[in-house]
Structure 1
Amino acid sequence: MAGRALEALSFDNSYARLPEAFHAKLNPTPFSSSPYLISFNAAAAELIDLDPAEAARPEFAGVFGGSLLVPGMEPLAMLYAGHQFGVYVPQLGDGRAILLGEVRNARGEKWDLQLKGAGLTPFSRDGDGRAVLRSTIREYLCSEAMHGLGIPTTRALCIVGSDHQVYREQVETGAIVVRMAPSHVRFGSFEVFYYRKQHEQLKVLADYVIARHYPHLAGAPDPYARFFDEVVERTAKLIAQWQAVGWAHGVMNTDNMSILGITLDYGPFGFIDDYDPGFICNHSDHNGRYAFSQQPYIGLWNLSCLAQALLPLAGKDELKAALDRYTPVCEGWYMELMRAKVGLLDRQEEDAELIQDLLGLMHQHRVDYTIFFRALGDFRSAPGDPNDGLRDFFLDRDAFDRWARRYAERLRAAGSRDEERRARMNRVNPKYVLRNYLAQQAIEKAQQKEFSEIDRLLTLLRNPFDDQPGMEAYAAAPPNWGKHLSVSCSS
Structure 2
Amino acid sequence: MNAPDVGIARHRLATLPLENSFGSLLPAFHTRLLPTQLPAPYLVAASDAAADLIGLDPGEFATEQFIEAFAGNRTLAQSQPLAAVYSGHQFGVWAGQLGDGRAILLGDVPAVQGRMELQLKGSGKTPYSRMGDGRAVLRSSIREFLCSEAMAALGIPTSRALCVTGSDMLVMRETPETAAVATRMAPSFVRFGSFEHWFYNDCQVELKVLADYIIDRFYPELRAESNPYRALLTQVTRRTAELIAQWQAVGFMHGVMNTDNMSILGLTIDYGPFGFMEAFDFRHICNHSDTQGRYAYHMQPSIGQWNCFALGQALLPLIGEVEDAQAALEIYKPAYEAKFDQLLHAKLGLHSTQPEDGKLHEAVFDLMQQNHVDFTLFFRRLGGLQVDRPEGDEPLHDLFIDRPAFDAWAAQYRSRLKQENSIDAQRQETMNSVNPKYVLRNYLAQIAIEKAQNKDFSEVDKLLRLLERPFDEQPENERYAQLPPDWASGLEVSCSS
TM range (shorter): over 0.9
8 Å CA contact 1:383, 1:408 repeated in 2: no
Q: Offset at 1:389?
A: 2.9
Q: Give yes or no for the alignment of 1:6 onto 2:45.
A: no
Q: 1:138-179 CA distances to partner (integer Å, 9 max, x unpaired)?
A: 000001010010000000000011111111011111000000
* Aligned counterpart, 1:171: 176
Equivalent of 2:436, from 423, 430, 436?
430
1:310 is paired with a residue whose SS is: helix
1:416 is paired with a residue whose SS is: coil
1:146 is paired with a residue whose SS is: helix
Give the alignment's TM-score, normalised by structure 2.
0.97
* Aligned counterpart, 1:261: 266
* Aligned counterpart, 1:359: 365
Q: Give yes or no for the alignment of 1:26 onto 2:33.
A: yes
Q: 1:111-159 CA distances to partner (integer Å, 9 max, x unpaired)?
A: 0000000000000000000000000000000010100100000000000
Equivalent of 1:83, from 76, 79, 89?
89
Equivalent of 1:229, from 234, 249, 257?
234
- Residues 76-475 of structure 1: matches in 2 within 5 Å? 76-105=82-111, 109-314=114-319, 315-382=321-388, 385=391, 387-475=393-481
1:262 is paired with a residue whose SS is: coil
8 Å CA contact 1:100, 1:115 repeated in 2: yes
Q: Offset at 1:383?
A: 7.0
Distance 1:255 1:211 in 2: 22
Give the alignment's TM-score, normalised by structure 1.
0.98
Q: Offset at 1:387?
A: 2.3
Q: Give yes or no for the alignment of 1:479 onto 2:485.
A: yes
Distance 2:489 2:261 in 1: 26
2:350 is paired with a residue whose SS is: coil
- Residues 45-60 of structure 1: matches in 2 within 5 Å? 45-60=51-66
8 Å CA contact 2:380, 2:436 repeated in 1: yes
Q: Offset at 1:392?
A: 2.9
Residues 69 and 383 (structure 1 numbering): CA distance in 2 closer, same or farther, change over 3 Å? closer
Distance 1:386 1:172 in 2: 49
1:12 is paired with a residue whose SS is: coil
Q: Which moved more, 1:129-138 or 1:353-362?
A: 353-362
Distance 1:171 1:226 in 2: 48
**Gaps in structure 2 of 5+ consecutive residues:** 1-5
Q: 1:452-480 CA distances to partner (integer Å, 9 max, x unpaired)?
A: 10010000001100011310000001001
8 Å CA contact 1:148, 1:463 repeated in 2: yes
Q: Which moved more, 1:354-363 or 1:238-247?
A: 354-363
Residues 384 and 372 (structure 1 numbering): CA distance in 2 closer, same or farther, change over 3 Å? closer
Distance 2:344 2:353 in 1: 11
Distance 1:230 1:14 in 2: 22
| Counterpart amino acid of residue 238 in structure 2 | E
8 Å CA contact 2:97, 2:197 repeated in 1: yes
Distance 1:198 1:485 in 2: 44
Residues 340 and 108 (structure 1 numbering): CA distance in 2 closer, same or farther, change over 3 Å? closer
Distance 2:299 2:474 in 1: 34
Distance 2:494 2:56 in 1: 34
Q: Offset at 1:239?
A: 0.1
2:317 is paired with a residue whose SS is: coil
Q: Offset at 1:364?
A: 1.0
Distance 1:407 1:108 in 2: 40
* Aligned counterpart, 1:17: 24
Equivalent of 1:74, from 76, 80, 95?
80
| Counterpart amino acid of residue 94 in structure 1 | D
Aligned residues between the structures: 489
* Aligned counterpart, 2:3: none
Distance 1:250 1:388 in 2: 34
Distance 2:450 2:394 in 1: 38
Distance 1:58 1:308 in 2: 47
Q: Offset at 1:414?
A: 1.3
1:174 is paired with a residue whose SS is: strand
Distance 1:113 1:383 in 2: 52
| Counterpart amino acid of residue 236 in structure 1 | A
Distance 1:147 1:458 in 2: 12
Distance 1:75 1:270 in 2: 32
Distance 2:437 2:34 in 1: 42
Distance 2:389 2:17 in 1: 62
**Gaps in structure 1 of 5+ consecutive residues:** none
Q: Offset at 1:384?
A: 5.8
8 Å CA contact 2:118, 2:185 repeated in 1: yes
Distance 2:205 2:360 in 1: 51
Q: Offset at 1:108?
A: 6.8
Residues 89 and 384 (structure 1 numbering): CA distance in 2 closer, same or farther, change over 3 Å? closer
Residues 108 and 446 (structure 1 numbering): CA distance in 2 closer, same or farther, change over 3 Å? closer
Distance 1:211 1:145 in 2: 30
| Counterpart amino acid of residue 18 in structure 2 | F
| Counterpart amino acid of residue 395 in structure 1 | I
Q: Offset at 1:390?
A: 1.9
Residues 219 and 418 (structure 1 numbering): CA distance in 2 closer, same or farther, change over 3 Å? closer
8 Å CA contact 2:385, 2:392 repeated in 1: no
